[in-house]
Amino acid sequence: MSTMEREAAGLAISVRKARYHRRNPLDILFSAVTALAALSVVAITFGILYILLKESWPAIQKFGVLKFVTGTDWDPVAESFGAATNLFGTAVTTALSLLIAIPVAIGIAIFVTEIAPDFLKGPIGAAIELLAAIPSIIYGMWGLFTLAPLMASHIEPALMNSVGRLPLIGRLFQGTPMGIDMFTASLILAIMIIPFTASISRDAFNLTPSIVKESAYAVGATKWEVMKNVVIPYSRLGIFGGVALSLGRALGETMAVAFVLGNNHQITASLFDAAATITVTLANEFTEASSKLYLSSLFYLALLLFVLSFIILAGAKIFLIRSQKKLPGEA
């Protein structure tokens, strides 16, 4: 560093120190209020964790961690509780809903940004945002009275007679098509999270520099090649952020799933069987908990969901940070 650069750096430091010592009282108050608001998020998070630990402690002492997580019993009369069936239902419905929703959502984003004529982009974008604003209980009622009968009478029998005949994967589509099952619940969840992934992916696609796409078209790339090799790689962080947001919504959804999932505490191989998730069990049984251990076990379920959500979303955040360092044009 040259003498001139050192003098300039020293002058800048002196100016910052002078500004700090002459800070306006309103600036100090503003900084304190914003810092308090930021720290309150951390305090609330730890407060929730403390309450869940405190209330679930009797169940933790009774069942431990491994026995509760791997146990398949859920018998309030005998006071024998295990979370395996709830964890299974939560994992299956969440994974299947993401598997259905992500391709559809990205397809919607591609159509809106690159294919649709200008007069359609606005209405479709508004419809996506309105779909995200519909309350979950409306989705649940629609699923129970409209989608479930349709699934039971048409879609699930067709899947049984086609995919259900295939080896291995066919076991997932066997059973009695009642419409109140994991497959219907996953489809409802997929419809609910599509707007989040589609909206964020659309915004990410729009941030791709036009000159990059025009350069690809100029060398003879087709629209598909531009999307596959230019737009999607450039927007991958935005897409992943939308998926992470959708994952959080799917993990914590309660009412819509409660209408169409049933409440069957069993681990089954068929998607056409009723099941139970953590959120549905909490919603259905919290007011019915007649003993201290029963109530504590429900709090234990809530604690597991809290920890599971934190681990998954923290992992997604770490992935985003690492991927951001590898963006095109960055060292």
In tens, the pLDDT along 141-151 reads 999 999 999 99
Residue 168's CATH number: 1.10.3720.10
Q: Lowest mean pLDDT of 52-61, 168-177, 179-188, 318-327, name the range.
A: 318-327
16 and 148 inside one domain: no
Separation of alpha carbons 274 and 297, rounded Å: 22
Does a structural domain hold residue 108?
Answer: yes
Domain boundary among 63, 85, 112: 63
In a domain, 330, yes or no: no
> Could you tell me if 282 and 159 lie in one domain?
yes
| pLDDT for 15 | 53
* Total domains present in the chain: 2
What local confidence, expressed as pLDDT, does residue 309 receive? 87
Alpha helices in 152-228, H assignment, sequence order: 156-161, 182-206, 210-218, 223-226
> Is residue 234 assigned to a domain?
yes
| Cβ-Cβ contacts under 8 Å for 67 (sequence gap 6 or more) | 82
Q: What is the per-residue pLDDT for 150?
A: 93
pLDDT of 44 strictly over 90: yes
Is pLDDT above 60 for 17?
no
> Which one of 27-41, 123-137, 138-152, 164-178 scores highest in mean pLDDT?
138-152
In this predicted structure, what is the pLDDT of residue 331? Answer: 39
How many degrees, rounded to 5, is the angle at CA 70 between CA 66 and CA 71? 110
- Considering the domain architecture, whether residues 172 and 143 belong to the same structural domain is answered as yes
Do 49 and 77 lie in one domain? The reply is: no
CA 241 to CA 205: how far, in whole Å? 13
246 and 215 belong to one structural domain? yes
Does 233 lie in the same domain as 85?
yes
329 occurs within a structural domain: no
pTM for this predicted structure: 0.83
Q: So what's the pLDDT on residue 330?
A: 46
Q: Does the pLDDT value for residue 133 go beyond 80?
A: yes
CB contact at 8 A, 297 and 269: no
What is the model's pLDDT at position 40? 92
Residue keyed to tokens 């479930």? 148
pLDDT of residue 207: 85
Q: Decide which of 63, 81, 114 is a domain's last residue.
A: 63
Structural domain boundaries, residue 39: 3-63
Instruction: Looking at the structure, tell me whether residues 73 and 43 fall in a common domain.
Output: no
Q: To the nearest whole number, what is the mean pLDDT of the chain? A: 85
Q: For residues 30 and 34, what is the distance between their CA atoms, to the nearest angstrom?
A: 6
Q: Are residues 153 and 293 in the same domain?
A: yes
Distance (Å, whole) CA 234 – CA 203: 12
CA distance 134 to 124: 16
Res 3: pLDDT: 63
The answer to whether residues 122 and 198 belong to one domain is: yes
Joined tokens for residue 297: 């076990």
Asked whether residue 331 is assigned to any structural domain, the reply reads no
Those residues whose C-beta lies under 8 Å from the C-beta of residue 234, and which sit 6 or more positions away, are 208, 212, 328
pLDDT at 18: 54
CA proximity to 294, closest of 51, 88, 87, 62: 62
49: left (phi over 0), alpha (psi -120 to 50) or beta: alpha
- pLDDT at position 222 over 50: yes
Residue 1: is its pLDDT beyond 70? Answer: no
Q: Kind and range of the H or E element at 74?
A: strand 74-75
Q: Is residue 278 part of a domain?
A: yes
pLDDT at 263: 83
Residues 124 and 8 in one domain: no
Indicate the residue among 46, 63, 80 that finishes a domain. Answer: 63
Highest mean pLDDT among 149-158, 262-271, 286-295 belongs to 149-158
Do 75 and 14 belong together in one domain? Answer: no
**74 and 181 housed in the same domain:** yes
| pLDDT of 88 strictly over 90 | yes
pLDDT > 70? residue 277: yes
CA distance 132 to 127: 9
